[in-house]
Amino acid sequence: MPLCLLWLGRCALLTGNPFYSLDLAGLFPTNDLFRIWSEHDRSLHANVLSDAAGWRSVLRLLALFAPAALPGWLLLATRREWRWSLLPAGVLLFLTLWWTSVPFTLGGLFYSLRVLSPALAVGAVITGVGLAQMNPRLGISLLGCLLAATLPQTLTLPQNAWRVPANAWDGLAERRAGTAFRESQAAVIVQAIGPSPRIVADGPGYQRRLAPHGITVIPPWSPDAAWLFDPRSDASTVRERWSATGLRHILLAKFAPSAAFVEKRARWLRAPLHARIVWQDQHAILLALSLDPATPATPSP
C-alpha cells in the first residue's frame, strides 16, 4: 500500500491528478484529449465480457497460463479456516479491478490479466500449501504434473506451447530478435527525421529507443501536441502552436483502434497543415508536417 501511495503522489505532482487523468466527480483536473482517446478505446472493448464467449476465453487463458492459481482460489472459497481471512477479500478486490480494467486494455484479454497478478500469486501460494498438506507422494506427483504443464508455457507466452513446435520454444531467442528489430527500426527513424529535437509518437517504447539519439518523444495528449489532434483548431491557432512547439514529425503505430481515432481527430488533414509520409514499415508510419505560407492581409482601400 505505501508503494501505491507513492505512485499516486507522483501522478499528482506531474498531472495534478493522483489517478493520471481519470475523472472522479470533477475533483481533479483531467487531460481532455487523453480522456476522449480513452473513451474511444473503451467503446471498442466495452462488451468483451458481456457474453459467454468472453468468459470462456478468460477461463482458457487462466487454465493455460495460470493453472496453479485456480485450485488455490477454490481452496480459499471452501476451506473454513481461510474463508473469512483477508486473502479471499484480496483476491476478490483484484478480480474486481481486473474486470473494470478490461474495456481500457487495448492489448486484449491476455494482456489484461496482468492486473490479476497479485490474485494469481495468492492462489499459487495457497495451492502450494494445499499440496504440502497432502500425502507426500501424491503431492509431489501433482506438483510434477503442474510444472510439466506450466514451464513450457513460460517459453512461448502469449502463444499456447502445445500448438508451437518444440524447436520454437526458445522464447528468449524471439525476444532477442524483437529487440534487435526495434533497435534497427529506431536507427532508420532517426535517419528519416533528421535534426529534429522533438517528435510526437503514440507508442510508449519510442521514448527509450530514441532518447539515446537526442530525440525527445512526447505523447499525443501532451499539452504541446494536443493541438495536432483537435479538428476544431482554426488556422490562426495552428500557426501559433506550430511556431511555439516546433513539432514537425508524427510517428504513429499501425494499430487499428488508434488509427481509427487518429483519422477522426487529425488536424493535419486540412489546411494550413499538410503531412507527407517520409518512412513506414509494417508496424508504424512517420509523417513530416508542413505549413502553408501565411497569406498577407489585403490592405484596406
pLDDT single digits (tens) 207-225: 988 999 899 999 999 989 9
Q: Is 272 helix (H, G, I), strand (E, B) or coil?
A: coil
Element (H, E) at 61: helix 52-65
Rounded to whole angstroms, the Cα distance separating 248 from 288 reads 6
Task: List b or e across 100-130, with b for residues whose CB sees 16 or more CB atoms inside 10 angstroms.
Answer: eebbebeeebbebbebbeebbbbbbebbbeb
More reliable by pLDDT, 301 or 288: 288
158 preceded by cis ω (within 30°)?
yes
Write the pLDDT tens digit of every residue in 6-39.
989 999 998 899 988 888 888 899 999 988 888 8
pLDDT band at 165 (very low <50, low <70, confident <90, very high): confident
| % of residues, the chain, pLDDT over 70 | 93
- Kindly give the residue spans of alpha helices, DSSP state H, lying in 133-229: 136-156, 171-193, 205-210
pLDDT band at 41 (very low <50, low <70, confident <90, very high): confident
User: Is the pLDDT reported for residue 148 higher than 90?
Assistant: no
Residues with Cβ within 8 Å of residue 258, at least 6 apart in sequence: 106, 202, 252
Q: In the β-sheet with 273-280, what is the strand arrangement from edge to edge?
A: 216-218, 198-201, 249-253, 284-291, 273-280
Residues with Cβ within 8 Å of residue 255, at least 6 apart in sequence: 106
Count of CA atoms in the C-beta half-sphere (13 A) of 86: 0
pTM as predicted: 0.77
Across the strands, what pairs with 41? none
Strands 284-291 and 273-280 come out as antiparallel
Whole-number average pLDDT of the chain:
86
Task: List b or e across 71-91, with b for residues whose CB sees 16 or more CB atoms inside 10 angstroms.
Answer: bbbebbeeeeebeeeebbeeb
More reliable by pLDDT, 3 or 210: 210
Q: Which three cell numbers stand for residue 216?
A: 525527445
282 phi, psi to nearest 5 deg? -75, -10
* Residue that the C-alpha cell 508496424 belongs to: 283
Mean pLDDT, to the nearest integer, of 157-173? 75
Q: What is the pLDDT of residue 244?
A: 93
Q: Which three cell numbers stand for residue 212?
A: 539515446
Rounded to whole angstroms, the Cα distance separating 33 from 3 reads 28
